[in-house]
Structure 1
Amino acid sequence: MLGQTFQILANKHRRRLLTELLHSRGDGSICVPEEVVDEEQTLENADVALRHQHLPLLEEAQFVRWNTDTQTVERGAKFDEICPLLTLLTANSQTLPGEWV
């Protein structure tokens, strides 16, 4: 499980989505974010990656539940397992390289 957790955290888009959930208030759900486009990809490719790669991987690991009808994401059954690492990343964001959080 630890290897899978680090694989998930290796991608900045997944880290950003998970940290948004970490800091979410209210019902703990967020709208599926507009994907940040890297210089080498188009908006369409970024959206495809989010919906066909990143969100399914996070959902498979049970870190999120993705509601495709409402286009929202909420904390999954195993979100609490990744919280300590997310908290560590966000608490130390000033000392980490620029794209880590």
Structure 2
Amino acid sequence: MNDSKTVGVLEKNADNIYQLILRQKEHLCLAQCPAFEEVIDTQLFGLSKQLDFAVQIGKIDEDKSHEILNHLEKALNEVYQESHEIIKKEKLNETTKTTD
């Protein structure tokens, strides 16, 4: 397998995880879907091991490996931030309703 094909396979795996994150972002149901975090952690762990192996055998460089993981971690952080903002707003609305 040549280096560009290796990168392509790894990027496809990363894109599958990214699509999963985006679908979750559309629904923002982290509180109602506790398995999401476990699934994502498992997927990211598997991808990180694939990336580590590819770096060790010289198929990709370490910078590319970090770039792929950082992209996914940034997307995941955005989902968590948006989810927490929605939860805060919901709690504020509940508090406002009970004081009215």
Shorter chain as normaliser: what TM range? 0.3 to 0.5
Q: TM-score, normalised by structure 1?
A: 0.32
Structure with more strand by fraction: 1
Structure with more helix by fraction: 2
Greater relative contact order structure (CA < 8 Å, 6+ sep): 2
Q: TM-score, normalised by structure 2?
A: 0.32
Bigger Rg, which one: 2
